[in-house]
Amino acid sequence: MTRARGAALPRVVAVFALAAVAPLFFSPSGDILNNMVLAAAYVVMALGLNTIVGFAGLIDLGYVAFFAIGAYTAAYFGSGFWANAGSDRRGIAVLVGDSVAGTPGIHVNFLLILALAVATTAVAGTLIGVPTLRLRGDYIAIVTLAFGGISRAFLASYLGVVNAAQFEFSFSIFIFAMVVLGGLGSIPGVVAGAIILSVVNHYLLPDVLFDLPGKVGLAFDLSAISSGIYGAILVVVMVLRPQGLVPARVELSARS
């Protein structure tokens, strides 16, 4: 086991190094880099959900609600939302650059915002989790479903806008489909599933396959029914390959 982990360490370092230098080869405003950033965010979300569903075996249909809490925290403390903040209404700035210092709103250093987002989501998770974890089976799904209409701070800072429509229940299905597609309890599988569905959502559906229904006489594009597509993916994977693309058993045997 120790030797396997030692052999895997160079591969992990190589992957992180590749992820660090890859953006240097693409335009900062191009679609490729934008899709890479979104895919990275989805990977983080899917890995977190995999901890709950894949390892703990809990059904969580409102997991992205905690990302909404973090996103709104980032929006409140890193934007001009509180336009009248400050004694002279010139805003509040904490360890930020000159470009935003003195502008309306509250502007806190991004690293501090991350800490605030983590603290806020931790408190919310505790308040929700303590009574919820006493429930079993479908009741857990019902409780988490209540938070499906809302959903760290990373996407908020990157996209520059936060609203509830970004984190509807369909987004929960989107992230859940990543975990199922990759393989419950499989870290490499979930990463692969997140990247694949990110490409499907932000490239294939809107840019490549969007006019496919029109070619057969249907008046809609595929991106309009993306939620149904991800639901269909869940059904197909559970029927044909319930262990996912990279089963957890393969990962465990490789480590041993």
Span 136-155, pLDDT tens digits: 555 555 555 555 444 467 77
* Residue 180 near residue 238, CB atoms below 8 Å: yes
Digit-coded pLDDT (tens) for 168-219: 777 888 888 899 999 888 888 888 999 999 998 888 888 888 778 777 777 7
Q: Say what percent of the chain tops pLDDT 70.
A: 83
Average pLDDT over residues 156-172: 77
181, 193 in Cβ contact below 8 A?
Answer: yes
Report the distance separating Cα 123 and Cα 194, nearest Å.
Answer: 27
Please give the pLDDT value at position 144: 55
Average pLDDT over residues 234-243: 87
Measure the CA–CA gap between 42 and 182, rounded to whole angstroms: 13
The pLDDT assigned to 196 comes to 92
What pLDDT is stored for residue 193 in this prediction? Answer: 92
DSSP secondary structure string for all residues of 143-197: HHHTTTT----HHHHHHS---GGGG-HHHHHHHHHHHHHH-TT-HHHHHHHHHHH
What per-residue confidence (pLDDT) applies to 143? 54
Mean pLDDT for the chain overall: 78
Asked if 225 and 161 count as a contact pair (C-beta separation under 8 A), the reply is no
The β-bridge partners of 94 are 108
What is the per-residue pLDDT for 250?
46
Place of tokens 């805003």: 91
